[in-house]
Amino acid sequence: MWPLTRHRDRRRFFGAGFWTPSQLGPSVVSMWFDASDTGTITLNGSTVAQWDDKSGNSKHAVQATAASQPTYIASDPILYNKPTINVPVDAGLIGLTTPSAAYQEVYCVGYYGNGAEALATNTNTIFSGQDTFNYERVIVSAGTATMLAYGAGSNFTGTVYKDGNPVGTNVLLPLPPASMRFRRDSLANVNQSTNLQYSSLTGGRNFRGSISEWIFVSGSISTQDRQRIEGYLAWKWGGL
């Protein structure tokens, strides 16, 4: 839980105006997806065919196959009746894919399962690269609560942050609604096309749950800007 002062004193934390990631600019924010901005979401009935990138870099996340499209929930009771993009099952290849983009840190808001499950039901993919196991990906390992990262070179194996607090052992579950931060331990960008909430290699590795916002950051940013992003997410989505 974030300190109450950050929720109650928005002006002190964000300044005179409400801070958003757009103030970092498209050279820093390489991709940005926001489920509360309905104008960025293209629906195919109740499922999401495209989620537009708000960074200005036009890295829109898409899924052309109807059976593989995640579900849009306008008022998700698990995430304080806020909108989410939901993958309801492990099975299949359900999720969205972005074009290639460079990033070093990944911030997101969401939950796993019903928000209270302590172990992963499968090898559940939070995000991943394409085509081969050499591409970088972050998963919650089957039968455990532990987050793991794989891929060529250095990976997102450093400290995980939940609601702005470090989780030194990388234990991600249980995951009720929370903000998360994953940082690449090499302190350098990876450049890859990215699957959101699934692996394109193997069916049954979906991140079963919801994500409401993604922010992919290119390069190393200051501690103050990290705190701004985390504070923005906490204030916006409530209860974090």
Domains and CATH numbers, the chain: 4-237 (2.60.120)
Using alpha carbons, select from 25, 20, 58, 19 the residue that is nearest to residue 40. Answer: 58
Question: How far is it, in rounded angstroms, from Cα 199 to Cα 61?
Answer: 14
| The model's pTM | 0.91
Half-sphere exposure of residue 20: CA atoms within 13 angstroms, side-chain side: 12
Instruction: For the chain, 240 residues long, give each residue's pLDDT as a single digit of tens.
Output: 343 333 334 434 444 468 999 999 999 999 999 999 999 999 999 999 999 999 999 999 999 999 999 999 999 999 999 999 999 998 889 999 999 999 999 999 999 999 999 999 999 999 999 866 678 888 999 999 988 887 766 678 777 899 999 887 788 999 999 999 998 887 789 999 999 999 988 888 999 999 999 999 999 899 999 999 999 999 999 865
Question: How far is it, in rounded angstroms, from Cα 145 to Cα 140?
Answer: 7
